[in-house]
Chain A
Amino acid sequence: MGVAIRLNGVTKKFGTFAANNNISLAVEEGTIHALVGENGAGKSTLTNIIYGMLRPTSGEIAIKGNAVRFSSPREAINAGIGMVHQHFMLIPELTVAENIMLGNEECRLFSRIPLKRIRAQIEKDAEAFGLGINPDEKVAQLSVGRQQRVEILKLLFRNASIMIFDEPTAVLTPSETEQFFTTLRSMRDKGKTILLITHKLDEVLAVADTVSVMRKGELIGTLKAASATKPELARMMVGRSVLLKVDNPPSQSGKTLLSLRNLGFITPKGETMLDHLSLDLSAGEIYAIAGVEGNGQRELLQVIRGLAPAGSTLSGEATLRGCSLIGKTPREITRMGVSHIPENRLREGIILDYPVSSNLIFGRHQERSFHKGAGFDDAAIKSHNRMMIKEYDIRCSSPELQPISALSGGNQQKVVVAREFNRPGISLLILAHPTRGVDIGAIEMIHKKIIDARMQGVAILLLSSELEEIVALATRVGCLFKGSIRHEFSRDEVALKRADEHEFIKEIGLHIT
Chain B
Amino acid sequence: MTKKTGQLVTPALAILSALLISTLFIRLSGQDPTMIFSKMVRSTIGSSYGTGQVVFRLTTLILSGLAVAIPFKLRLFNIGAEGQLLMGAFAAAITGSLIPETLSPALAIALCILSAMAAGGCWGLLAGVLKMQFGVNEVIATIMLNFIAQGITGYLLTWHFALPSTVHTAPIRSASGIPSIESLTGWFANSPANLSLLFSIAAALLFQIILFRTRFGYEMRAAGLQPEAARHAGINAGMHTLIAMGTGGAVAGLGAANIILGYKHYYESGMTGGIGFTGIAVALLAGANPVWIICTALFFSSLEYGGLTVNAWVPKDIFMIIEAMTILLVISFSALEKQFLNR
Residues of chain A touching chain B, judged by Cβ–Cβ distance below 8 Å, are: 305, 307, 329-331, 334, 340, 342, 344, 347-354, 358, 362-363, 365-366, 371, 374-376
Contacts and interface: CB of A to CB of B under 8 A. Distances in A.
Nearest to B234: A331
B202 interface: no
Interface stretch (B87-95, B221-229, B270-278, B288-296): B221-229
Given A347-B226, A354-B222, A365-B219, A330 B214 contact: no
B233 interface: yes
Nearest to B218: A365
B155 interface: no
A437 to B, nearest CB: 16
A330 B215 contact: no
Given A358-B218, A365-B219, A371-B215, A353 B229 contact: no
Given A347-B228, A348-B228, A376-B218, A363 B234 contact: yes
A28 to B, nearest CB: 33
B2 to A, nearest CB: 10
Nearest to A354: B222
Contact of A330 (B216, B221, B225, B232): B232
A92 B261 CA distance: 58
A305 B232 contact: yes
Contacts of A353: 225
A374 B231 contact: no
B148 to A, nearest CB: 28
B160 interface: no
A203 B233 CA distance: 36
A353 B225 CA distance: 8
Interface string B226-254: 10110111101000000000000000000
Contacts of A329: 234, 236
Contacts of A349: 229, 232
Contacts of B213: 375
Contact of A365 (B215, B225, B236): B215
For the complex of A and B, list the 4 residue pairs with the smallest distance between their C-beta atoms, beginning with the closest: A363-B233, A331-B234, A330-B234, A374-B214
A496 to B, nearest CB: 37
Nearest to B233: A363
A362 B230 CA distance: 9
Contact of A362 (B228, B229, B236): B229
A375 B233 CA distance: 18
Nearest to A340: B232
B214 A375 contact: yes
Given A329-B234, A365-B215, A351 B228 contact: no
Name B's interface SS.
helix
A252 B232 CA distance: 31
Contact of A374 (B215, B225, B229, B232): B215
B234 A347 contact: no
A366 B234 contact: yes
Contact of A334 (B214, B216, B228, B234): B234
A220 B216 CA distance: 49
Given A365-B215, A365-B218, A375-B214, A351 B234 contact: no
Given A348-B229, A354-B222, 18 more contacts: A307-B232, A331-B236, A342-B229, A344-B228, A347-B228, A347-B229, A348-B232, A349-B232, A350-B229, A351-B221, A351-B222, A351-B225, A351-B229, A358-B218, A362-B233, A363-B232, A374-B214, A375-B215
Contacts of B214: 374-375
A73 to B, nearest CB: 16
A483 B323 CA distance: 58
Contacts of B218: 358, 365, 376
Contacts of B236: 329, 331
Nearest to B222: A351
A149 B226 CA distance: 33
Contacts of B222: 351, 354, 362
A374 B213 CA distance: 8
A342 B226 CA distance: 14
11 contacts: A305-B232, A307-B232, A329-B234, A330-B231, A347-B226, A352-B225, A365-B219, A365-B233, A374-B215, A375-B214, A376-B215
A375 B219 CA distance: 11
A408 B261 CA distance: 56
Nearest to B212: A375
A342 B215 contact: no
A371 B219 CA distance: 14
Contacts of B215: 365, 371, 374-376
A381 to B, nearest CB: 11
Contacts of A348: 226, 228-229, 231-232
Nearest to A343: B232
A395 to B, nearest CB: 20
With most chain A CB atoms within 10 A of its CB, the pick from B215, B219, B233 is: B233
B188 to A, nearest CB: 36
A365 B236 CA distance: 14
A342 B234 contact: no
B139 to A, nearest CB: 23
A5 to B, nearest CB: 25
Nearest to B343: A14
A334 B334 CA distance: 40
A344 B232 CA distance: 11
Contacts of B232: 305, 307, 330, 340, 342, 348-349, 363
Contacts of A305: 232
Contacts of B228: 344, 347-348
Nearest to A371: B215
B301 to A, nearest CB: 31
A307 B236 CA distance: 11
A362 B234 CA distance: 10
Interface string B148-170: 00000000000000000000000
With most chain A CB atoms within 10 A of its CB, the pick from B218, B221, B236 is: B218
